[in-house]
Chain A
Amino acid sequence: MSAETSSKSGKTVSGAGEGHSRAAVVRGISEELAETLDRIAGELGGSPDLKMRKLLIGTAPPVQAAVVYISGLSAEDSINDFVIGSLMKVNQAREQAPDPGGESLMEYVMERALETGDARIKEDWNDIILAVLSGETAVFLNGYASAIICDTRDEEGRAIDEPTTQLVLRGPKDSFVETIGTNITLIRRRIKTPKLWFEHLTVGEASKTDVAMMFIKGTVDKKLVDEVRSRIRKIKIDAVLESGYIEELIQDKTFTPFPTIYNTERPDVVAANLLEGRVALIVDGTPFVLVLPAVFPQFFQSPADYSERVDIAILMRLIRYGSFIILLFGPSMYIALTTFHYEMIPTVLLVSLLAQRENVPFPALIEALLMEGVFEILREAGIRMPRAVGQTVSVVGGLILGQAAVEAGFVTPAMVIVVSLTGIASFAIPAYNMSIAGRIVRFGYMILAGMFGFYGITLGMIVTIAHMNSLRSFGVPYLSPFVPLSFREQQDTLLRLPLWFIRPGTVSPTRSGENQTDQGKLIDSGHEDNLSPAVQAKGKTGLLDSTEE
């Protein structure tokens, strides 16, 4: 936008007439109705779904007016009844009104005639076009360099359905849909406090996607909200079609397999997280809502933990952590045991394992990579499989491939057991992105185990944990509250303590227990990870590591 045209006012109309050829850069609109309508039609390429209803307002003398909207995006019934209908009645109404003199026709229409819920006067061309494109209706009056925007958006969308990815046996069965308005309602319905605030942001040069940032005032750390807002504002992208785009652009560190932002399609999960002081980002067009900051233990929580009895919930949660460990180390342990550390295996079992291996030409590592690779292919194919053939293929893939591979001497039966165990374990993790992270890291462990046995696994483990320790989600250490250790916050991590024990207001993602400095450190580290140990130089320079990665 050039500087001379960016003077934002509707009073530039005098220049707008001559400067018609530069229409695209003129921000004001013309007072001439016909010219304005031509310009809109021209800008949208004469699209057939653009409706421009011209009418006369029956004042004396009659004033030409036009109602502009896009059919399909707008609720045409309400346009007919409340916009066009009320414009038609202006004549009689204005004569009956006690003092029509003082105000302009535009103000009169706006304040006394239009019967829509939300209406505002806009003078900026881009605002008007954007409003029309988002399903609102623009009312132009001849002789006025502005338009009235009426909210007639038709939130056409899928009905609220059961969640498809995060199922629970007991708990609410509704899930988010693609329309942002509905999603906000679903959350509001659960938290009826005026402190539930949300801010509206727009992301994407072309898509102008609505993003709602929700938080509970007073519970949330203000610095967190500011940081999220500023990171979202910094986004430069053409289109945001899914919340994953936002996730990728605002996360602290991009080079890691572990997710540092949680996503969910369950309103109850979002509500619970908001109450714990987190921020939710609802992106228009997707049922997946982002929750941040996210720490590692959060990916192992399931809403069912709170609907079941405590003992059951604890057991289930431990099983989930256990499955993650099996997922990471299952195949690599098997490789290490059979390749390097036979002595760990009880003798009888060892004999039977070796008897199996006798027919297999590959080393255990190749065997495992082969089977895990096949399993990954099956899983990827399963997502895309049409529902009708899905069952058949999984039977063919799982049963026949496994059985036949054993009989053909490709793999040992024990390997099939290990691979299917890790496969099942990966589904026990409630968060899909965490299970993918585990699946990726698992391959690294397998190769390390094949080359170095337990030595490789242990080193890999150290590096993985160090890596996780270096991660932060919006300033919060990823492994907290395990590291830095905080006993006060252990009530809902590895175990879930009874609800009467969890005192309200003690769970906060931004509070880190023993390490007080982390609190001050929150957020100000900005986008990069700032973990370089620089001794505070007192008057000395050059020691500080100022080069960030």
Chain B
Amino acid sequence: MGEVRMGIVQCFTLAMLFELGTAMVVNLGVDTGKDAWMSVLLGGIAGVLPFIGYIYLYRAYPDDPLSRYSRKLLGKYLGGLVALLFILSFMMMAARDLRDGSTMLVMATMNRTPIFVISLMMILSSAYVAHKGVEVLARTSLLFAVIVMLIGGFCGLMMIFSGKINLLRILPLLENGAWPVLRSVLVQNYMFPFGEMICFTMLMPYLSDSRRGPWVIVASMLFSALLLSLTTVMNLSVLGADIVARSPLPLMPTISKISISDFIQRLDVLVVMVLIIGVFFKITVFYVAALVGISDLFGLPYRTMAYPAALIILFLSVMNARGFTEHLDEGKRLLYTVFPVFTLALPALLIIIAALKRHRSAPRPD
């Protein structure tokens, strides 16, 4: 039995691709207008706080995924229920991201392909990689992180060379005071995309370096926050806050502004590529987290449930909403009601119990 391990660099890139995922292309922190980039950055920093809590749990149970220590902490039945809820939520998130990604792809390029076919292709590739295991997923993320960074660097350079960036468009800073930014952080930006890091609690047992590993993930979160913030600055300074607020995928029109001597132009297909890679890794991380949970909770071999779970995610993604508007609407409701339960409330409960347990079992001086 070979041990499955994620190296440090690999877990950095996996967390980075997971964070960038869909967040890179969609409109983050719209309601803050010109200061969206600040709310993204602050959201990243705020998102680290719950993650530090997850690290506390990981330190207490370095070999167990969330689904196992929840049972150790809450007892077999209650803990099992919590684990099951988490597994369902991971599958739900995977399904939502699948729907997001497929719809965006349809909007961006493939407007005559049925969304079901696009989702099917995506989940099949995802299933293949998930079937190969966590290690392969992490290793694959390394190469694709390099590709994404290269594309990003290239597009950034081209953008600068074509002289479309006008930083005056993001001035004045904090036009309406600090409150809208803070509000946006508290309501939304701590959660998307940074709160979704809860699924890494299922993958952290695979870290090869349990001491530095979690902090590498934190570094990766901060780095992605910086990248997302930079992207938002770029969108705002190229398009202006008005257009950004009105476009669903602002990065696409931004990148398509690049034009160098009429030869290098219409690079938005590169954005589509980044989108595909990001969505893929986001779905697959959720999916793998769910699989690890299933195999742990029900004592099934990891691989047997790979394809059934893929089917469940696929149909969830297709059936959870009749249209994209409904899907987005539901997303907003989930963002305020369900997701905080999973990213904040339940982990907080576990942390408190773990702390009490550790306190009571600590050797007493007598």
**Is B362's CB within 8 Å of the partner chain A?**
no
Complex CA distance for A531 and B138, rounded to whole angstroms: 12
Nearest Cβ in chain A — how far from B104, in angstroms? 11
Complex CA distance for A544 and B63, rounded to whole angstroms: 13
Q: Which residues of B contact A259 (CB under 8 A)?
A: none
Complex CA distance for A463 and B288, rounded to whole angstroms: 15
Say yes or no: A463-B7 contact (C-beta < 8 A), given A454-B273, A469-B139, A477-B139: no
Complex CA distance for A344 and B264, rounded to whole angstroms: 9
Nearest Cβ in chain B — how far from A382, in angstroms? 35
Q: Which residues of A contact B118 (CB under 8 A)?
A: 452, 455
Nearest Cβ in chain B — how far from A463, in angstroms? 5
B110 near A340 (CB under 8 angstroms)?
A: yes
Within 8 A of A (CB), among B127-161: 128-129, 132-137, 139-140, 142-144
Nearest Cβ in chain A — how far from B66, in angstroms? 11
Choice from B2, B7, B129, B296 contacting A466 with Cβ under 8 Å = B129
Say yes or no: A462-B5 contact (C-beta < 8 A), given A477-B139, A543-B296: no
How many A-B pairs have beta carbons closer than 8 Å: the answer is: 155
Say yes or no: A531-B135 contact (C-beta < 8 A), given A466-B140, A542-B299: yes
Complex CA distance for A540 and B208, rounded to whole angstroms: 21
Complex CA distance for A485 and B68, rounded to whole angstroms: 31
Choice from A341, A520, A525, A533 contacting B134 with Cβ under 8 Å = A533
Residue-wise, chain B 202-229 has the 8 Å CB interface mask toward A (1 for contact) of 0001101000000000000000000000
Choice from A346, A456, A479, A532 contacting B301 with Cβ under 8 Å = A532
Complex CA distance for A484 and B135, rounded to whole angstroms: 10
A545 near B276 (CB under 8 angstroms)?
A: no
Within 8 A of A (CB), among B183-206: 205-206
Chain B interface helix/strand/loop/mixed: helix
B276 near A459 (CB under 8 angstroms)?
A: yes
Within 8 A of B (CB), among A288-315: none
What count of chain B residues pass the 8 Å CB interface test? 56
- Considering residues B136, B266, B272, which has the most beta carbons from chain A within 10 angstroms of its beta carbon? B136
Q: Which residues of B contact A256 (CB under 8 A)?
A: none
A532 near B133 (CB under 8 angstroms)?
A: yes
What count of chain A residues pass the 8 Å CB interface test? 50
B206 near A533 (CB under 8 angstroms)?
A: yes
A453 near B110 (CB under 8 angstroms)?
A: yes
A344 near B143 (CB under 8 angstroms)?
A: no
B144 near A535 (CB under 8 angstroms)?
A: no
Q: Which residues of A contact B3 (CB under 8 A)?
A: 517, 520-521, 536
**Is A399's CB within 8 Å of the partner chain B?**
no
A545 near B273 (CB under 8 angstroms)?
A: no
**Is B265's CB within 8 Å of the partner chain A?**
yes
Complex CA distance for A459 and B118, rounded to whole angstroms: 11
Complex CA distance for A520 and B266, rounded to whole angstroms: 49
**Is A14's CB within 8 Å of the partner chain B?**
no
B276 near A455 (CB under 8 angstroms)?
A: yes
- Considering residues B110, B122, B143, which has the most beta carbons from chain A within 10 angstroms of its beta carbon? B143
Say yes or no: A346-B262 contact (C-beta < 8 A), given A483-B10, A484-B7, A535-B68: yes
Complex CA distance for A466 and B133, rounded to whole angstroms: 10
Q: Which residues of B contact A515 (CB under 8 A)?
A: 5, 7, 208
Look across to chain B and name the residue whose beta carbon is closest to the beta carbon of A530: B2
Within 8 A of A (CB), among B247-276: 262-263, 265-266, 269, 272-273, 276
Q: Which residues of B contact A455 (CB under 8 A)?
A: 105, 109-110, 118, 121, 272, 276
Interface residues of B (CB under 8 A from A): 1-5, 7-10, 63-65, 68, 105, 109-110, 113, 118, 121-122, 125, 128-129, 132-137, 139-140, 142-144, 205-206, 208, 262-263, 265-266, 269, 272-273, 276-277, 280, 288, 292, 295-296, 299, 301-304
A454-B272, A469-B139, A535-B206 given; 12 more Cβ-contact pairs under 8 Å? A340-B109, A452-B110, A455-B276, A466-B128, A470-B132, A482-B143, A514-B7, A515-B5, A532-B4, A532-B301, A532-B302, A533-B4
